[in-house]
Structure 1
Amino acid sequence: MSAKILALDTSTENCSVALMINDQIFTRSEVAPRDHTKKILPMVDEVLKEAGITLHDLDALAFGRGPGSFTGVRIGIGIAQGLSFGAELPMIGISTLAAMAQGCYRANQSEHVVAAIDARMSEIYWAQYTRQENGEWTTVMISNAEDSTSQGECVIPPQELAANLSASEGLWTQAGTGWAAYQEALSQLPLTMQPSEVLYPEAQDIAVLAQIEWRKGNTVDAEQASPTYLRDKVTWKKLPGRE
């Protein structure tokens, strides 16, 4: 029997909420890049009313932990923490990149996914995933030739990705906004790829992945919930005449 999990995500232009009860999904989703704070709580109310339960009937609250828009990630985690504190619920943070991989599996059973979110500043948030039989997603590590390190989820200029990415057999499904934003650079990757309609993470996919984490006992208290930004610092050009 699955846990009763409410999931929400505001990390990208998309705003979504989902409630998962006994493998039944109640969901709301809308692309509303500047209205997350207006949309998210009414969506929460709607799915709870549709299912006929309250926050206090839930087992956990899941949220898209990032990466994504700095503001969007902060909005999502702040609202999730507020709901969690009020109902004394444990929290489960799910990668937005992994959620898009799960979205590709939900849409067309894709088990090999390359996810790329436009991170602005000529960079993308990137991860390459393979689905396991138990429903978990394994991140394919990429190597950094400069410092001999490897990483899974990362922020990287798309022009550098081809040089660091190893060729992988099979057909890989693209997900995210990065493919359209950096089409020419990403077309050079040593992968056989196909497009998909999955542009953003969805709360219903976060809820599915949160069930796996729930069964493994991977929950945190509200005060311990934290975002994943990947980018440690933001650089910008100063306006003329300003120091």
Structure 2
Amino acid sequence: MSSPRLLALDTATETLHLALVQGDQVLTRALPGGAQSSALLLPAVAELLAQAGWTLAQLDAVAFGRGPGAFTGLRSACSVSQGLALGLDRPLIALDTLAAVAEAAFQRGAGAQVWALLDARMGEIYAAPWRRIGPGHWAAPDDLAAGVDPAPCLYTPAALLRAIEAAPADLAGPGLDAHADALAAAPGRRLAAALPDGAALAVLARAAHARGAWIDPALALPLYVRDKVAQTTVERGLARQAAASSAA
């Protein structure tokens, strides 16, 4: 029996990541994302399928990065993947974007326990601790210190530093560069270049499909974590004052 043909995508960051997977064969694509994700996503999928010589009808499942990340990107990934899965009558797989960051870090030499970090803007960070329990299969560590949330959360840099100090592990993701000074004292190796890229998505999608970790496409939702997309003028002023006070 031939290996399943999978499409995996993530638009949670400033880069649109795609992968086509069949067994050990993987084709990937990375394009500018952000606000352009909704316009670029379907044409990019079509181009990658053409490169592989596949049609949409030949896909066995669709996987998408559910977040957390940029609101517009999350909505684009979820809606496009949901539409494809429903239209093709195929299974849908929801992948954790921060788990993809952890997988990318592991592929670059990180250990089996990783803190994955994405810049959440507004002076905050999306982060979660992950433990590798098998190829392409990541879960929350089972030995976290009291008070450390195993789920993807929104942190201030100071709160995240405390959490990492309580549960040390390697650190990965673009959230490191965005908050380098605030996290300078955090323990662990740093792999800032680890992104939810096509290679990582391919491994996660293949493992999830093998486990039968599918969801009903009609129930697909992004994982926002944050419930606000922007600060008010007063909040921005207070944030600047706090930053100035901490730098003094």
Same fold (TM over 0.5): yes
The residue aligned with 1:195 is: 191
- Taking the aligned partners of 2:208 and 2:103, their CA distance within structure 1 comes to 14
TM-score normalised by L of structure 1: 0.85
Q: Which has the higher strand share?
A: 1
Cα 1:159–1:51 change in 2 (3 A) is same
What is the Cα deviation at residue 102 of structure 1?
1.0
* Alignment CA distance shift 1:35-1:235 (3 Å): closer
Q: Distance in 1 between matches of 2:145 and 2:79?
A: 32
CA distance in 1: counterparts of 2:15 and 2:72, whole angstroms? 13
CA distance in 1, matches of 2:178, 2:80: 29
Q: Which residue of 2 aligns with 1:57?
A: 58
Moved more, 5-14 or 42-51: 42-51
In the alignment, is the contact (CA less than 8 A) between 1:143 and 1:165 conserved in 2? Answer: no
Give the Cα–Cα distance (whole angstroms) in 2 for the partners of residues 165 and 157 of structure 1: 12
Residues 64 and 77, structure 2, Cα contact 8 Å, conserved in 1: yes
Which of 158, 179, 183 is residue 182 of structure 1 equivalent to? Answer: 179
Indicate the residue corresponding to 2:107 in structure 1.
106
Shift of 1:138: 2.9
- TM-score normalized by the length of structure 2: 0.83
The one-letter amino acid paired with 2:5 is: K
> 2:159 matched to which residue of 1?
160
- The runs of 5 or more residues in structure 2 that have no matched partner are 235-248
The letter for the 2-side match of 1:207 is: A
- Aligned partners of 2:136 and 2:206 also within 8 Å: no
Cα distance per residue 1:65-116 (max 9 Å; x no partner): 0000011100111111121222111100101110011112223364332211
How far, CA to CA, are the matches of 2:13 and 2:86 in structure 1? Answer: 24
Alignment gaps of 5+ in structure 1: none
Offset of residue 22 of structure 1: 1.9
Letter in 2 for 1:65: R
Q: How does 1:28-107 map to 2 (within 5 A)?
A: 28-107=29-108
- Give percent identity, aligned residues only: 37
Tell me which protein shows more helix as a share of its residues: 2
- Answering whether residue 205 of structure 2 is matched by residue 218 of structure 1, we say no
Rounded Cα–Cα distance in structure 1 between residues aligned with 2:164 and 2:30 = 33
Q: Quote the Cα distance in structure 1 between the aligned partners of 2:190 and 2:229.
A: 32
For the pair 1:123 / 2:118, whether they are aligned, the reply is: no
Q: Secondary structure at the match of 2:149?
A: strand
Choose from 192, 204, 226 the match for 1:231. Answer: 226
For 1:150, the equivalent position in structure 2 comes to 149
Distance change >3 Å, CA 109–CA 175, structure 1 → 2: closer
8 Å CA contact retained: 1:101, 1:115: yes
> What is the CA–CA distance in structure 2 between the aligned matches of 1:233 and 1:59, rounded to whole Å?
36
Cα-Cα RMSD: 2.3
Matched, 1:205 2:200: yes
Q: Which moved more, 1:72-81 or 1:24-33?
A: 24-33
Aligned residues: 231
Q: Distance in 1 between matches of 2:174 and 2:146?
A: 23
Distance in 2 between residues matched to 1:111 and 1:151, nearest whole Å: 15
Amino acid at match of 1:93: A
User: Per the alignment, do residues 194 and 177 of structure 1 end up closer, same or farther by CA in structure 2, a change over 3 Å counting?
Assistant: closer
